[in-house]
Amino acid sequence: MNDGKIVAINRFPSPNPKVELMEITYISNGLKVKGLLAEPKDEEVSDGFLYLRGGIKNVGKVRPARIAQFASEGFIVFAPYYRGNQGGEGNEDFAGEDREDAFAAFILLKSLPKVRDIHVFGFSRGGVMALLTGIQFPEAASIVTWGGVSDMSLTYRERKDLRRMMKRVIGGTPDKYPERYHDRTPLYELEKLAAPVLIIHGAHDGNVSVEHAYRLERRLRALDKSVECWYFAEFTHYFPPAVNRKVVEDLAKWMKSQHKR
């Protein structure tokens, strides 16, 4: 298998003079998929940071400034766009086969000579992708889910505005095809997760209710897994800029304290 193999690298304008950005084309399940790689210019060896975006298609696209922000904390960051996006082949299917794009991205990061441990970060629907990646790769150093989905059926029930899309890409409703939603819900496979998990969630999140975080926390605690929770009583899906920057700094410190060795 050529999963994670880099087939093209193109320089990308960076919003931060200390961070170099490159758009990468790589192989995932035989498809050419694209993503954004950010490297701090002055670091010799760094931890890897797999950034798994939320949304679908043009909603929640990878933002260069956000990727550079994490790289400026001393990580080599790779953010897959997922199949079918921004010139990539295939079709995104909301944590179905497109999870392979996250898995291949993990392998890609592992292949980079300057990368040490790899941490996995998911925002919004990227939370499901991050947990599925942690289940697939027990060697991940840590998993962070921020405003993250943990239960795909719950998303269907909560988000009336997403139901048409979910029925189309998943192939029906959770009542008619519970197994398809079950397959996209990492809660049922957390026994296989070895990495410590950090859950970040705003209590007033209207995009991904805090119930997703509670379900994930309960399940991890029931399995005696390592989990830390940062709940923010006053915030929604999006935190104010100053708070956001502080949380990024804090989660970077938390990740670096979770070294495999």
Catalytic residues: 124, 237
Contact (CB, 8 A) for 148 and 208: yes
Q: Which residues contact 22 (CB under 8 A, 6 or more apart)?
A: 9, 10, 11, 12, 36, 37, 39
H-run or E-run covering 78: strand 75-80
Q: Which residues contact 35 (CB under 8 A, 6 or more apart)?
A: 23, 24, 26, 62, 78, 79, 80, 81, 105
| Alpha carbon separation from 188 to 78, 126, 131, 179 (Å, rounded) | 27, 17, 11, 11
253's tokens: 């410190």
Give the separation between CA 236 and CA 102, rounded to whole angstroms: 26
Contact (CB, 8 A) for 93 and 28: no
102's tokens: 């996250």
Phi and psi torsions of 83, nearest 5°: -55, 145
